[in-house]
Amino acid sequence: MRKVLLIEAMGSAEDLLDAGRELGVEVVVATHREIYESYSPALKQKIAATVFTDFSDQDGALKDLAAYARAEGIDAVVGCWEFLTPLAARLSAELGLPGNDPERAAGCRNKRVMAGLFEEHGVPAPRTLLAADLESAISALAASGLEYPVVVKPAEQAGSWGVSVVDGPDEFPAAFAGAQGWPFESPHGFPLDTTVLIQEYVGGVEYSVESVAYQGRVIPLTVVQKFTTDGVFRAETGQTVPAALSDEDTRTLYDTTIAAVRALGITDGVAHTELKLLPGGHAKIIEVGARLPGDRVPELIRLASGVNEARAFIQVALGITPELTPTKDEAAAIRFFVPPRAGRFKSIDGLVRSPQVHRIAVYPNPHDEVRGPGDNDGRVGYVMLRARTPEKVNKAADAAVANLTVELE
């Protein structure tokens, strides 16, 4: 049985574990012992084998895992947790297995390196200034001619931690401090680059493109449309696959994505690309991760097109031609349930169960403590839907949740 080493079962790990089982390969999860203990029972149940290391020392982890892989005859390395995708690229290169360019892999995670690679390769992306401290940030901004609003963000965080849109100079110092407020990765605890990026604010509408790269060829699978709340905290309320877009706009997003993914040296793996479509038929990249999408998007892609991106990822990592031919042309959507405030959960009321509803999930039990809205951890469940077209699935999704309320005690 062929063996795949999965670098940390966080993010869309369950999709990869399921795909490994379906492909008849053994998936070994590399993690920390105490993090393994904190995995959910459902996740643990899918894991047949583990190897423990210490990711807070990346050079040490690389040595450990390379020795383990050689001793155990590992056939493929798959990066799952975005923070560790550079390590996955280094490890696959060390073992002579398919993977991304280790020299550029830091650019799939560190937005400072990413911005440099985009500039070097002529990839359309927001104009970006870099600063190590507030004083140099203020003078760089003044000298640049960039106008407010600007986006201030940490080089190396995720989950929108420390990212703010700044409308004027009064807000700038707090935004800068916010961007430096998360200097360690969680949960493994390795230090992060504290450089702050000050970026041109890009208007337009945001999408993501999910792609697979195989032997240097980048194959976009679909455009995903993201729905968010308004206001200061942009929590994601849902996703639709594929986005309701013209063929021309889809092509623009695909072409821009291919340029970005190539610039980052993603040659054998997957890419989650966030980008904005602007009037006039062009797009700008916000960021790229060398990982599967979150928010159950792999399942939406499967429902809409029949393509299993997690399976394709494992195939690429094993050096096998990935199965990427769509077997259907439909649409799927997810909408999340978020309570109006923190409190004790009672029930979900008012959900409309139409024939388009594929699955409903509610996470808490009655009386459980739940968080308020604000970030993605506030979610208490979701409805997943499917229909023949994106327009139909969006209409069904709107109708399903139009009168939905999350009741608290």
Ligand X SMILES: Nc1ncnc2c1ncn2[C@@H]1O[C@H](COP(=O)(O)OP(=O)(O)OP(=O)(O)O)[C@@H](O)[C@H]1O
Contact between 381 and 337 (Cβ < 8 Å)? yes
Rounded to 5°, the CA angle 179-276-171 comes to 30
SS3 string, 25-82, reads: CEEEEEECHHHHHHCCHHHHHHCCEEEECCCCCHHHHHHHHHHHHHHHCCCEEEECCH
When the beta carbons of 52 and 161 are compared against ligand X, the nearer one is 161
Closest approach, Cβ 156 to Mg ion, in A, equals: 12
> Per-residue contact track with ligand X, 195 to 234, x per CB under 6 A?
----xxxx---x----------------------------
Q: Candidates 146, 151, 303, 383: give the one binding ligand X (CB under 6 A).
A: 151
Residues 198, 129 contacting (CB under 8 angstroms):
yes
Query: In degrees rounded to 5, what are phi and psi of residue 205?
Result: -115, 135
Which of Mg ion, ligand X, none binds 126 (CB below 5-8 Å, type-dependent)? Answer: ligand X
Q: Residue 64: in which H helix or E strand, if any?
A: helix 58-72
- Please report how close the Cβ of residue 163 comes to ligand X at its closest, in angstroms: 4
Tokens representing 151? 């986006």
**What is the DSSP pairing of strand 26-31 with strand 3-7?**
parallel
Shortest Å, Cβ 274 to ligand X: 5
Q: Which of 77, 286, 292, 317 binds ligand X (CB under 6 A)?
A: 286
Site for ligand X in 114-143 (CB under 6 A): 126
Is residue 320 exposed (0-12), middle (13-18) or buried (19+ Cβ within 10 Å)? middle
Distances from the Cα of 94 to the Cα of 55, 91, 397, angstroms: 17, 5, 46
From the CB of residue 264, how many other CB atoms can be counted at a distance below 10 Å?
28
Q: Residue 346: in which H helix or E strand, if any?
A: strand 343-349
Q: How far is the CB of 120 from ligand X (least distance, A)?
A: 19
Instruction: Answer with the entry of ligand X, Mg ion, none that 199 interacts with (C-beta below 5 to 8 A by kind).
Output: ligand X
How far apart CA 224 and CA 353 sit, in angstroms, is 24
Question: Which residue, 51 or 278, is less far from ligand X as judged by CB?
Answer: 278
| Interface segment toward ligand X; rule CB under 6 A; list 30-38, 42-50, 152-160, 252-260 | 152-160
332 binds ligand X (CB under 6 A): no
Which among 235, 242, 237, 239 has a CA at the least distance from the CA of 226? 239
C-alpha 234, offset from chain centre:
15
In the bound complex, what is the minimum distance in angstroms from residue 162's beta carbon to ligand X? Answer: 7
Q: List the alpha helices (DSSP H) in 74-157.
A: 85-95, 111-120, 134-144
159 binds, among ligand X, Mg ion, none (CB under 5 to 8 A by kind): ligand X
The residue within the footprint of ligand X, chosen from 29, 74, 146, 163 (CB under 6 A), is 163
Residue 85 engages ligand X in binding (rule: CB under 6 A): no
Q: Phi, psi at residue 35, to the nearest 5°?
A: -75, -35
Q: Is the peptide bond before 242 cis (omega within 30 degrees of 0)?
A: yes
159 touching ligand X, by CB under 6 A: yes
What is the rounded radius of gyration, in angstroms, for the C-alpha atoms of the chain? 21
Q: Cβ closer to ligand X: 157 or 252?
A: 157
Residues 283 to 322: which contact Mg ion by CB under 5 A?
287
Does 153 help bind ligand X (rule: CB under 6 A)? yes
Q: How far is the CB of 175 from Mg ion (least distance, A)?
A: 17
Q: How far is the CB of 384 from ligand X (least distance, A)?
A: 21
Cβ neighbours around 58 below 10 Å, total: 17
* Identity of the residue, 274 or 330, whose beta carbon is nearer to Mg ion in the bound complex: 274
Q: Which is nearer to Mg ion, 200 or 407 (CB)?
A: 200
Question: Quick one: which segment of 12-20, 138-146, 193-201, 337-345 binds ligand X (CB under 6 A)?
Answer: 193-201
Size of the site for ligand X (CB under 6 A): 17
Other CB atoms within a 10 A radius of the CB of residue 124 amount to 16
CB of 158 to ligand X, least distance (A): 4
CA-based angle 10:14:18, to the nearest 5? 145
| Least distance between ligand X and beta carbon 166 (Å) | 11
- Give residues 254-273 in contact with ligand X (rule: CB under 6 A): none
**Residues near Mg ion, by CB under 5 A:** 274, 287
**Residues near ligand X, by CB under 6 A:** 126, 151, 153, 157-161, 163, 199-202, 206, 274, 286-287
